[in-house]
Amino acid sequence: MSSAAARSASLAQMVPIAGQVGRIERAAAFLANGMSLGLCPDAARERRRAMPAKLIGNGLRELDLFLTDLIAEAHRIDRLGAGAGDDPGVRPGHRMSSAAEAWHRAGPQLGLNGEDRTLLRAMRAAQNRLCFGRLRRPDSEATMQRACADYARLAGDVLAAVQARRSGDGSVAITAR
């Protein structure tokens, strides 16, 4: 396979990853806006205030799972290259349970910042406090919004890492939008 053909195949595989990043960004914005599109900031603020802790925690858990799947897919494509083909799906016995674990396993190979694993572990602990705690803490809303912004940023970091590794000359620019 010529290098141009290999790059074309590689780009075709990265486009679904870019789509996954876009979905994570939209889901993070939706949750951060009180499960609304955020078109009316006053209404979004009221919706956030009314969200029970368990709903916030479960929303953050979903973002964590989205990021976990993104990292696993990025790692699969990085490992297999142009021959990766379509994602065969997640095998239950091999699924990573959190983004922090996925970051730890795949991060070094992808060139991801190791310090972000510490952030992901702290975010997972906050999710658990919100999911299983009886009371919503005063800082729950701010914690949720920071975590949503961090998940969106980290998803972009994964895409950028894959782009940097898959494009030998740095000329590839795939956006997640």
Query: Would you list the domain boundaries of the chain?
Result: 3-166
21-25, 98-102, 133-137, 158-162: least confidently modelled range: 133-137
Query: pTM (2 decimals)?
Result: 0.79
Picking from 18, 21, 20, the residue whose alpha carbon sits closest to that of residue 173 is 18
Contact between 71 and 102 under an 8 Å Cβ cutoff? The reply is yes
How many Cα atoms sit within 13 Å of 35 on the Cβ side?
12
Confirm if 127 and 100 have CB atoms less than 8 A apart: no
Asked if residue 84 lies in contact with residue 77, where contact means CB atoms within 8 angstroms, the answer is: yes
Q: What is the pLDDT of residue 140?
A: 83
Q: What is the pLDDT of residue 168?
A: 58
Reported confidence tier of residue 134, pLDDT bands at 50, 70, 90: low
For the chain, give the percent of residues with pLDDT over 70.
76
Over the stretch 56-112, which tens digit does the pLDDT of each residue have?
A: 889 999 999 999 999 988 988 887 775 666 655 555 556 678 999 999 999 999 999
Whether the predicted pLDDT of 154 surpasses 50: yes
Helices 99-110, 115-132: crossing angle, 10 deg rounding:
170
Over residues 108-124, the mean pLDDT reads: 91
Q: What is the pLDDT of residue 174?
A: 39
% of the chain beyond a pLDDT of 90: 36
| pLDDT above 70 (res 158) | yes
Is residue 27 pLDDT above 90, yes or no? yes
Query: If you average pLDDT over every residue of the chain, what do you get?
Result: 80
Comparing 81 with 143, which gets the higher pLDDT?
Answer: 143
Q: Which has more confidence, 130 or 7?
A: 130
Question: What average pLDDT does the segment 22-44 reach?
Answer: 89
- Tokens describing residue 89: 């799906």
Instruction: Give the mean pLDDT of 121-135.
Output: 83
